[in-house]
């Protein structure tokens, strides 16, 4: 195995281990569940659900909060898609 292949495998393994070391933050209430990679975005989603909002309201709020707290998760105007059936 070449040196480049070995280094690539090591870097990919370290990257996966790093990603696995940060579990998602969950917050559950009686009306739903909010999960994100940011504790602030998760709390905002929970607050929306606590105030009587639905899952779409919470998802939009979490998305906007993630645009501020975790820009790598995607931003407003990004290439995300959603299929919603009401």
Note the pLDDT tens digit of each residue in 68-82.
Answer: 888 776 666 666 666
The pLDDT assigned to 50 comes to 87
| Domain-located, residue 71 | yes
The pLDDT assigned to 1 comes to 66
Residue with tokens 């281990």: 17
Ranges of the chain with pLDDT below 70? 1, 16-31, 73-82
| Domain-located, residue 5 | no
| Domain-located, residue 9 | no
CA 30 to chain centre: 21
Q: 65 CB contacts (<8 Å, ≥6 apart)?
A: 36, 38, 40, 41, 44, 45
| Domain-located, residue 81 | no
| Domain-located, residue 10 | no
| Domain-located, residue 50 | yes
Question: How many other CB atoms are found less than 10 A from the CB of residue 34?
Answer: 24
Domain that holds residue 48: 23-75
The pLDDT assigned to 44 comes to 93
The pLDDT assigned to 81 comes to 66
| Domain-located, residue 2 | no
How many structural domains comprise the chain? 1
| Domain-located, residue 6 | no
Structure tokens at 53: 């909002």
């Amino acid at each position: 195995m070449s040196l480049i292949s070995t280094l690539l495998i090591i870097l990919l393994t370290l990257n996966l281990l790093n990603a696995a070391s940060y579990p998602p933050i969950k917050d559950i209430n009686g009306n739903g569940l909010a999960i994100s990679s940011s504790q602030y975005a998760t709390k905002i989603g929970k607050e929306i659900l606590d105030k009587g909002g639905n899952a779409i309201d919470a998802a939009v709020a979490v998305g906007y909060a993630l645009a501020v707290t975790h820009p790598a998760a995607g931003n407003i105007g990004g290439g995300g898609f959603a299929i919603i059936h009401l």
